[in-house]
């Protein structure tokens, strides 16, 4: 029995990281939004690692914040320990990572949804989705039917979720929650092709059962750099993490029991993440490696649960207990939550366009792990874009499309919709050919004007942004016009940094262009330097040091954007174009690229195929002008 429950603008299915950003964005843009979740206690849950950010992922969090999303602000409010990764490398790959209080994070996110105007947060499992004219009908397990103008699927690992621990397997969502068991069949009936992916998580162990005395301590960075451009109060590191290593005994226990792993016993059908393998996968894939690192991380200030980063597993519980206890510091460890693998359904992202809308199903969007990606940050980024576009579509506005030259979010989406995902997609700095321009320190400069134009950036936030840009402009001008006279103090600084001293006056900008020299070094001999925020000085210093490389990369971006302006027809049959290779025809028909630039990034489409497309497009445009 069913009953009509109401009409809404945007329905968001799922309240994980993708669903939260999607719901908040749509509601803040004026769309009446309902966010459905199987269990209200799972809103904003971090079922795997208790952290936000990391290599390339920190870039995504900064970009989400720059556009007006929530993840960065909430992560700052829950930070236990913060570190800037890859500081030994260039600024293009510097990435912020924060250990967070996972329960506090979930509580804050849930409260933000509850307080958001135009948004309803509802515990209800969506079991059926179908189209009726221009409206989507969603049916819950309790028989309620909702009519929605747009639907965003943010199902995470709940969709057809199945847990594996050794020989045991059962239908389940993460952290012992109910799975979404009925929706997959409904999506297949609709015509959406689903695949099986899998991921896993390590055990959580009791803090008091760990011997920390011989472990390496990992401290946070000082001062703490926040994710959000809204965070003004100084943040503090509140705890430490520890490092340990596996050994030959660990390897022996795992190898003796490898046949009991569902990963190697054939029970798991789903494809796992390439860049985040389980410990048994590491042992099998890297047999000559003598040891593997693990990080012991707190799950929160008010819990004794500790997370064993780098030690996910699907081996039987007793085997987990045995191999964990071979690791220094864990000899007497007590497992509180057993490690497990989880298999789930996801779509083929090649069926989506750049707005994350299904090409064959207008008004239906996908975000997060449903789209074949992995990670909280990738999910939140997609949720934000899908939420913005769902609201704008209903309001008759142009869709938001972020290109790969302007953001990591654009790179993420472009990769998914042009290359697909043969395994759970993970964002990495190496995926961006423009990473020197797409640094985490300038995310606001790249994206806050877009967020302001859309309507997600407040007046106060915009005032802070414009003030920062004015400060940067003034400081660049000062650095280019200020000459520091030679002095014993200046030359002492230069010699201490292993760079040549100066005999005559030298411009401040030229000193900062030297790789070894920073603003901090020159403070004692630069009396005219105004008191500026660290973020401004960092931005100026990077742009001066890498000026030539940045200029060259911006030229490449202009060429890429020139090709992006050469639009291709929608729903085109490329089989009729002479000169295209068979593989190119197949891939172009499958992906249906929106422009020449996107076509060039499709696996299987060669430069020769692009030349054919350019010639054909020029011919078609010529015919159009004649008509």
Q: Looking at residue 619, what is its pLDDT?
A: 84
Q: What is the CATH number of the domain that holds 220?
A: 2.40.30.260
Q: What is the mean pLDDT of residues 27-39?
A: 98
Residues 221 and 339 in one domain: yes
Query: Phi first, then psi: what are they for 183, rounded to 5°?
Result: -60, -35
Give yes or no for residue 622 having a pLDDT over 70: no
In a domain, 305, yes or no: yes
Q: How far is CA 209 from CA 304, 333, 338, 391, in A?
A: 10, 5, 15, 50
Residues 157 and 54 in one domain: yes
pTM: 0.95
In a domain, 459, yes or no: no
* Mean pLDDT computed over every residue of the chain: 95
In a domain, 398, yes or no: yes
Of the candidates 372, 424, 433, the residue with the CA atom closest to the CA atom of residue 404? 433
Give yes or no for residue 576 having a pLDDT over 90: no
In a domain, 361, yes or no: yes
- Pairing type for strands 241-245 and 293-298 reads antiparallel
Residues 208 and 191 in one domain: no
Give yes or no for residue 625 having a pLDDT over 70: no
Query: Phi first, then psi: what are they for 335, rounded to 5°?
Result: -80, 125
DSSP 357: B
Residue 224: Cβ within 10 Å count: 20
Domain boundary among 397, 428, 454: 454
pLDDT band at 1 (very low <50, low <70, confident <90, very high): low
Please write the tens of the pLDDT for every residue from 170-184: 999 999 999 999 999
Q: What are the helix and strand counts (H, E) for the chain?
A: 20, 22
Identify the H or E element spanning 583.
helix 582-591
The pair of structure tokens assigned to 457 is 């950036």
CB-based burial label for 68 (10 Å; 0-12, 13-18, 19+): buried
Task: Please state, in angstroms and rounded to a whole number, the distance separating the CA atoms of residues 7 and 589.
Answer: 36
In a domain, 619, yes or no: yes
Residues 277 and 364 in one domain: no
Q: Looking at residue 275, what is its pLDDT?
A: 75
Task: Please state, in angstroms and rounded to a whole number, the distance separating the CA atoms of residues 160 and 289.
Answer: 36
Q: What is the CATH number of the domain that holds 612?
A: 1.10.150.570
Give the rounded distance of the alpha carbon of 314 from its chain centre. Answer: 25
Residue 434: Cβ within 10 Å count: 20
Residue 510: Cβ within 10 Å count: 15
The pair of structure tokens assigned to 146 is 């909702």
Q: Minimum mean pLDDT among 172-176, 289-293, 567-571: which range?
A: 567-571
Q: Looking at residue 574, what is its pLDDT?
A: 93
Give yes or no for residue 151 having a pLDDT over 80: yes
Collapsed DSSP state (helix, strand, coil) of residue 163: strand
Give yes or no for residue 522 having a pLDDT over 70: yes
Q: Are 106 and 97 in contact (CB under 8 A)?
A: no
- Pairing type for strands 204-206 and 305-309 reads antiparallel
pLDDT band at 626 (very low <50, low <70, confident <90, very high): low
Residues 50 and 138 in one domain: yes
Residues 473 and 448 in one domain: no
In a domain, 425, yes or no: yes
Residues 331 and 361 in one domain: no
Q: Which residue has the higher pLDDT, 534 or 31?
A: 31
Residues 253 and 317 in one domain: yes
Q: How far is CA 409 from CA 14, 173, 287, 378, in A?
A: 21, 27, 36, 8
Counting residues of the chain whose pLDDT is more than 70, the rounded percentage is 99
Q: Minimum mean pLDDT among 9-18, 149-158, 605-614: which range?
A: 605-614
pLDDT band at 271 (very low <50, low <70, confident <90, very high): confident
Residues 161 and 66 in one domain: yes
Give yes or no for residue 621 having a pLDDT over 90: no
Give yes or no for residue 311 having a pLDDT over 60: yes
Give yes or no for residue 624 having a pLDDT over 90: no
Q: Is the peptide bond before 60 cis (omega within 30 degrees of 0)?
A: no
In a domain, 33, yes or no: yes
Give yes or no for residue 517 having a pLDDT over 80: yes
Please write the tens of the pLDDT for every residue from 465-481: 999 999 999 999 999 99
The pair of structure tokens assigned to 449 is 């004007």
pLDDT band at 272 (very low <50, low <70, confident <90, very high): confident
Q: What angle do CA 579, 580, 584 make, to 5 degrees?
A: 170
In a domain, 289, yes or no: yes
Give yes or no for residue 114 having a pLDDT over 90: yes
The pair of structure tokens assigned to 435 is 């990473």
pLDDT band at 234 (very low <50, low <70, confident <90, very high): very high
Q: What angle do CA 51, 54, 55 make, to 5 degrees?
A: 165
Give yes or no for residue 560 having a pLDDT over 80: yes
Q: What is the CATH number of the domain that holds 493?
A: 1.10.10.1800
Give yes or no for residue 627 having a pLDDT over 60: no
Give yes or no for residue 331 having a pLDDT over 70: yes
Residues 53 and 101 in one domain: yes
Residues 181 and 41 in one domain: yes
Number of domains in the chain: 4
Residues 329 and 256 in one domain: yes
Question: Which range of residues forms the domain containing residue 230?
Answer: 204-343
Highest mean pLDDT among 159-168, 271-280, 580-589: 159-168
Domain boundary among 551, 576, 610: 551
Secondary structure in 3-state letters for 308-327:
EECCCCCCCHHHHHHHHCCC
The pair of structure tokens assigned to 115 is 């307080």
Please write the tens of the pLDDT for every residue from 187-223: 999 999 999 999 999 999 999 999 999 999 999 999 9
Of the candidates 164, 166, 205, 162, the residue with the CA atom closest to the CA atom of residue 316? 166
CB-based burial label for 9 (10 Å; 0-12, 13-18, 19+): buried
Q: Are 294 and 308 in contact (CB under 8 A)?
A: yes
Q: What is the mean pLDDT of residues 83-112?
A: 96
Query: Phi first, then psi: what are they for 458, rounded to 5°?
Result: -70, 165
Q: Looking at residue 623, what is its pLDDT?
A: 64
Task: Please state, in angstroms and rounded to a whole number, the distance separating the CA atoms of residues 530 and 49.
Answer: 41
Q: Are 46 and 421 in contact (CB under 8 A)?
A: no
């Amino acid at each position: 029995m069913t009953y009509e429950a109401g009409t809404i603008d945007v329905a968001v299915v799922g309240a994980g990281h993708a669903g939260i950003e999607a719901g908040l964005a749509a509601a803040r843009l004026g769309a009446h939004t309902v966010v459905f979740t199987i269990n209200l206690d799972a809103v904003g849950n971090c079922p795997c690692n208790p952290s936000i950010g990391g290599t390339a992922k920190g870039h995504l969090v900064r970009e989400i914040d720059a556009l007006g999303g929530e993840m960065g602000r909430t992560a700052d409010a829950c930070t236990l320990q913060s570190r800037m990764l890859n500081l030994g490398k260039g600024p293009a790959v510097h990435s912020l990572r924060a250990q967070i209080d996972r329960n506090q994070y979930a509580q804050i996110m849930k409260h933000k949804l509850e307080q958001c105007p135009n948004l309803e947060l509802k515990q209800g499992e969506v079991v059926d989705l179908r189209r009726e004219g221009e409206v989507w009908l969603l049916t819950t397990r309790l028989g309620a039917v909702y009519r929605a103008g747009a639907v965003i699927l943010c199902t995470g690992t709940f969709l057809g979720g199945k847990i594996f621990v050794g020989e045991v397997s059962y239908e389940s969502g993460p952290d012992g929650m109910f799975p979404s068991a009925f929706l997959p069949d409904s999506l297949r009936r609709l015509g959406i092709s689903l695949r099986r992916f899998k991921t896993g998580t390590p055990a959580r162990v009791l803090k008091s059962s760990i011997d920390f005395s011989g472990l390496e301590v990992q401290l946070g960075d000082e001062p703490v750099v926040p994710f959000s451009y809204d965070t003004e109060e100084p943040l503090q590191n509140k705890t430490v993490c520890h490092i340990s290593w596996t050994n030959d005994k660990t390897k022996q226990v795992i190898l003796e029991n490898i046949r009991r792993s569902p990963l190697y016993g054939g029970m798991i059908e789903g494809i796992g993440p390439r860049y985040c393998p389980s410990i048994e996968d590491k042992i099998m894939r890297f047999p000559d490696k003598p040891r593997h690192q693990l990080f012991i991380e707190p799950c929160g200030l008010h819990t004794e649960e500790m997370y064993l980063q780098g030690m996910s597993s699907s081996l039987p519980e007793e085997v987990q207990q045995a191999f964990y206890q071979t690791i220094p510091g864990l000899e007497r460890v007590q497992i509180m939550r057993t490690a497990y693998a989880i298999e789930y359904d996801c779509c083929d992202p090649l069926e989506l366009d750049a707005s994350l809308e299904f090409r064959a199903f207008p008004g239906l969007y996908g975000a997060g792990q449903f789209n074949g990606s992995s990670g909280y940050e990738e999910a939140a980024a997609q949720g934000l874009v899908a939420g913005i576009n769902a609201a704008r579509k209903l309001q008759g506005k142009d869709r938001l499309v972020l290109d790969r030259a302007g953001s990591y979010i654009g790179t993420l989406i472009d990769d998914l919709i042009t290359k697909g995902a043969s395994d759970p997609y993970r964002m990495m700095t190496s995926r961006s050919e423009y990473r020197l321009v797409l640094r985490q320190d300038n995310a606001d400069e790249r994206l806050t004007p877009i967020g302001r134009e859309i309507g997600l950036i407040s007046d106060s936030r915009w005032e802070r942004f414009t003030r920062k840009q004015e400060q940067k402009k003034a400081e660049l001008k000062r650095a280019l016009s200020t000459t520091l006279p030679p002095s014993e103090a200046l030359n002492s600084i230069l010699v201490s940094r292993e760079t040549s001293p100066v005999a005559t006056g030298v411009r401040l900008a030229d000193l900062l262009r030297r790789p070894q020299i920073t603003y901090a070094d020159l403070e004692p001999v630069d009396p005219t330097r105004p008191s500026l925020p660290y973020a401004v000085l960092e931005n100026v210093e990077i742009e001066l040091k890498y000026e030539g490389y940045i200029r060259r990369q911006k030229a490449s971006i202009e060429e890429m954007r020139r090709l992006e302006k050469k639009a291709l027809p929608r729903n085109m049959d490329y089989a009729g174009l002479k000169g295209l290779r068979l593989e190119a025809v197949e891939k172009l028909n499958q992906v249906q690229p929106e422009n020449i630039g996107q076509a060039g990034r499709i696996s299987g489409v060669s430069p020769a195929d692009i030349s054919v497309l350019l010639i054909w497009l020029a011919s078609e445009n010529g015919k159009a002008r004649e008509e």
